[in-house]
Structure 1
Amino acid sequence: MDLLQRAFYGKDIRIALLEKREQAYEDFFCTLMQKKYSDNFLPVKAAGREGDRKADGYLFPEKRVYQVYAPSSGFKKDKLLSKITGDFEGAKEKWQSEMLGWTFVHSDFEGLPPYAIEQISKLKTSNRNIDIRVMGPEIIHNIAMSLSLESLIDMFGLMPSEKQLADLTHEPIKTLLKAMSRQTGCSSAIVPVSVDKLEFNDLSDDVAALLMAGRKKEKLVEDLLRKWPDPEYGDDLASAFNAYYLDMRSEGVVADQIFNKLQKFAGSDPASTNSQVSSLAVLTYFFERCDIFENPPKDWSK
């Protein structure tokens, strides 16, 4: 797996962790753990009166129970505290000596709120014979990135390689540009961006790596738009990207999700690595030259 493939997979894993909730998040977590630990990890499904015995997954070598919590409406104090305490105490009662470790898996990239951390600390103090841990999406992301290329392909499909990007020519981009719907709107000023733009917009390292890679081919896009039969087509596309970005920003969509949606808007097809590298070149071109994401203020510093 080369660096470009790694960035694509890293981005898609992060998007999955941002977008999946409830059962979908639990299923995604369990699939990753099975890929990582093979038959040493098993999802726990409800069975009859026993239910799931307050567990969503079980890791045999460590005798560790995993409980996943990814509410679609976000954390609510009473529900979160009840979930932590109720599921731990229930698992301790039902698994007994078969539970030497317990992990609370959650979905918030910002981490657990202080009251939840305090509650887990109390559980650790009163249950020193059980190894209690917390696993958030950053840790899950790291587990996923440690999987083999074969496992990642099985879960997310084949991603473009650095060689495919290097071999990219005008023709696939031309095909993609022709397929994009012409949209009207106010022209967006084409200006260079600050080197701090990636950090200012809180884009992940994976997305930053993709944009840096895409710069190698953005001149192909520039050449095509300069020679395009309609001289206003580039401005129209810039306006379309800008309008779509502003809509998503106004809805509070997270930066990496905005990037992912913009890449699809640029014609990316998950089933085609050619369309993925072509759309990356197009997206990078407009990222660098128009108001897709925010330019930092002149006095801004990290």
Structure 2
Amino acid sequence: MTEVMMLLTPNWRDWYHFRHQQACFESGTAFEDYVSKVLEKFHDDFLNPAPSGSLGDGGCDGLAESGTIFYACYGQRPGRNAERELANKIQGDFARGLDQWDTFHTWKFVTNAPIGPESLKIISALQQAHGPTADRPLTIRAVRPERLWTDVVGTFDVPILDSLFPGAPGIENVELADLLPLLDALGTAESASETGGRVLPVPPTKMDFNKLPEASRIEFNSGRLLAPRIDRWYEESSDPGLYDAQGERFRTLYQEARSVTEEPAEILERLYVSVAGVNFRMDGKRANAAFAVVSYFFDSCHIFEMPPNDGSVTGVDPDALAN
């Protein structure tokens, strides 16, 4: 039996963001442990000191960047005096950190607790007391869950995110699974900006003959900028028959799509999904890679029908030409 390759659908980031939000709803040490795991993956030298006797941890929940960044963390605790407790925590952690650690120039307080007026007054007072003209100028920041996502967690690659939140759903079978390495190559920043050689416009007679809508033509013109990269990918393949085999598979998928609908845009959408998975449009690079691959096989005449060579026949049913 042929092994079925799987592709993580492009809405993976939404799922990881949701899991991050769930982790940030945790109380107390559960949230603090999550933040520590995140920072360990964000900084290659992050260390969270273990409490030591009467010294405790010195108000420190982690140092990074050779000790120049100091983290204090607080997971909210249920209680009627939550705002006052948070304000005391900010003031206390900062005072202990300032007294016992002399290497940091950035102090970050990471919390999932709502920052009310008392806590904000403390933060503002500390920022003003340690401004640019102070004896010890410091950058002082409060980091809430969404900032933790945008600045830290949301910057991670999929393998790191998956180590934090394993078992991402949204996995789709992809008909042309052996094209996944090509999609990944086209989706890199280097490849996506490459134009390489002369790029021809999509053949207008074939587009007109098959009645493709304007939106599809725009997608094709965008995707065809990557045609030189696809050429090289096939040239460098260890399988000399790969291009022909995939071309035939494209033709079969096209014919299957035509058996379901005769709308050109709907046929194309089915081909895109066969290449890149459901919800591929939620990832701009993945979508453009799908446009590139499908337009490549469109231009090589594996999908849709070619108009007559002399261009004298218009509006003919493509099925009539195919027979």
TM score, norm. by length of structure 2: 0.46
Give 1 or 2 for the bigger CA radius of gyration: 2
Instruction: Give the TM-score of the pair, scaled to structure 1.
Output: 0.49
